[in-house]
Amino acid sequence: MKRTGNVYCAVIVVLIAGVFTTVALSQNSDKSTPARGGRSIAYYTKIISDIALSIRENYMDDVNLDELFNSSFEGMLANLDPYSVLLRRDDYEALREAASGRYEGIGIDIDYRDGEVTIITPLEGAPASKLGLRPGDKIVKIEGRIVSRLTNSEFNALARGKAGTTVRITVERPGVANPMDYVVERAVVELHPVKYSGMLDQSLGYVRISKFAEKAGDEFQTALRDLKSRGCQSLILDLRSNGGGLMDQAISVVSQFIPKEKLVVYTKGQSQSTQRRYLSTGDPIFPEGNLVVLVDSGTASAAEIVSGAVQDWDRGVIMGTVTYGKGLVQNVFEWENSDYALKLTTSKYYIPSGRSIQRPERSHKNGALDKELGQANNQDTKAFKTNNGRKVFGGGGITPDVPVSRKGLLPLEHNLSRENLFFQFAIDYTARVKSIPRDFPVTDEMIRDFRAFVKSKDFVYKSSSEELLANLESAVAAEGKAKSFTTEIEALRKAIEREKDQDFERGREFIRSALRREILYIKFGDSAVYEEIITKEDPAVRQAMDLLKDRGKYNALLKG
């Protein structure tokens, strides 16, 4: 829902299995069956019931039964993995929407901050966009209610609704004196998993998949066919910050690169029904062209299935940083006439070489490693072999074939992004400057204007040196020596302030790029950001392009 300064930011969909299982309670609990440990489920069910009854009848104050049982449910799941959780009805519906890639509403991506709702993106083709709502518009009223008095969930409940119904909103727009009223008819809004595809030169294509929601496979096939028709012979598949999604969509994407009926992934769990093998389907669209898959620490789950299968079959080169390491499969169980659903990890998945990419430290909510589980997963630390005999390891995400170092952000750069000041300035700038060409430069004057804008927002941040100085002051104060060091500490403080004044110069290129990105986004949309910045300036994309042009180096990386 919220767009940050990082254009790769995307919603993480953890429902990797894509299976919603509706079951009756009576079908899932044989009360006579002993649990592990010798007791039956019926035994523990009676104890829970007796405890709850004793609390309700004897506790010194009134007890809210909903809160009481919610606590007991959470306690029951506390020692399982982080992805096994109890879902309330609203949470479940949000999960289904994220997995389906569609919802009913007016089609806006918003930033909810300090009681204010600012439109970040009116989604292309959605009702809000068709009525002329713009990035930067601030929604001050919805259905006559003042937005600053609503919670995030209350606002969402009012904004979303059945297709064909209407909602009244009032917006304030920079550069326009009076608020503007809109009546927006809700519709089914499609969230497209393929964010961008295009040719980088006459033979090199690029596709960005932001998540593996429904239709990710179909959209990828459409994009790939289009690129092939335009002469694509080599491809960059960008899966950075792709948090995963549906397993069948991941298999659909992998199937465009490897022959039919090749193993893509298999799953193993306690139940026999969880032990399954998933093979590639159909004839691939891109079976031979050179391929680079871009990954990072935000590449997870279904996106790791794709990158792992490509690596294990030696079908392409994985480039970037080590991926997240989520190799667990969840199913969702519903009960009739219940406000709850259970999202439960039912198995682990393994990619073709036989390795699991699940990080052990992410296998439990409390971070502890279960000894029995650890013994069962000793194989994760072993070396495995790709199809060509290259050595790979499991148990810690996908390690890229070609690492790409990522420059860390200066404290100034991090905090400017965190406070969304680049976007806020871009809103103000595009409201003042009506004619902005797509190839506009970010001038020194614009950077000076941005610096003045930041100052007007009372922006403050702490540099690393300031943090160290604060620790020093605390240490000397604790020893009762603050007065003895007053002169030295004051001198350090002045030196740090002089050093901070230089941060804007050190971060000039980052600031220039961030301003250009946000202004392009507001004026021309996502595609302009990809075409003018990501595919031209992104270091990882440039490195991938260089590799794909060096056939000898590319082939050497994939040899056993």
Q: What is the DSSP letter of 197?
A: E
**In DSSP terms, which residues pair with 251 in a beta bridge?**
none
Q: Which CATH class is domain 102-190?
A: mainly beta
Q: Of the candidates 251, 268, 248, which has an alpha carbon nearest to the alpha carbon of residue 260?
A: 251
* pLDDT < 70: residue spans in the chain: 1-38, 113-115, 361-381
301 among known catalytic residues: yes
Q: Where in the chain is the domain with CATH 2.30.42.10?
A: 102-190
Separation CA 508–CA 502 (nearest Å): 10
Q: Of the candidates 312, 317, 306, 304, which has an alpha carbon nearest to the alpha carbon of residue 235?
A: 317
Residues sharing a CB contact under 8 Å with residue 393, sequence separation 6 or more, in sequence order: 355, 381, 382, 383, 384, 399
Separation CA 210–CA 237 (nearest Å): 11
- Candidates 238, 312, 314, 401; catalytic one: 312
Instruction: Indicate the pairing of strand 234-238 with strand 290-295.
Output: parallel
Q: Where in the chain is the domain with CATH 3.90.226.10?
A: 194-333+345-406
312 among known catalytic residues: yes
Q: Of the candidates 346, 348, 345, which has an alpha carbon nearest to the alpha carbon of residue 379?
A: 348
The per-residue b/e assignment along 290-328, b for 16 or more CB within 10 angstroms, e otherwise, is: bbbbbbbebbbbbbbbbbbbbbbbbbbbbbbbbbbbbbb
Per-residue pLDDT, 18: 36
User: How many CB atoms are closer than 10 A to CB 204?
Assistant: 22
Per-residue pLDDT, 114: 63
Per-residue pLDDT, 33: 53
User: How many CB atoms are closer than 10 A to CB 214?
Assistant: 19
Pick the CATH number of 194-333+345-406 from 3.30.70.20, 3.40.50.2300, 3.40.50.410, 3.90.226.10: 3.90.226.10
Q: Of the candidates 156, 51, 46, 175, which has an alpha carbon nearest to the alpha carbon of residue 108?
A: 156
- Candidates 84, 301, 353, 356; catalytic one: 301
Whether this model's pTM surpasses 0.75? yes
30 among known catalytic residues: no
* DSSP sequence for 22-33: E--HHHH--TTS
**In DSSP terms, which residues pair with 276 in a beta bridge?**
267
- Candidates 195, 211, 262, 326; catalytic one: 326
Q: How many residues does the chain have?
A: 560
User: Interior CA angle at 176 toward 172 and 181, to 5°?
Assistant: 45
Cβ neighbourhood burial of 251 (10 Å; 0-12, 13-18, 19+): buried
Per-residue pLDDT, 74: 82
Q: What is the DSSP letter of 532?
A: I
Separation CA 145–CA 26 (nearest Å): 45
Half-sphere exposure in the Cβ direction for 267 (13 Å, CA): 25
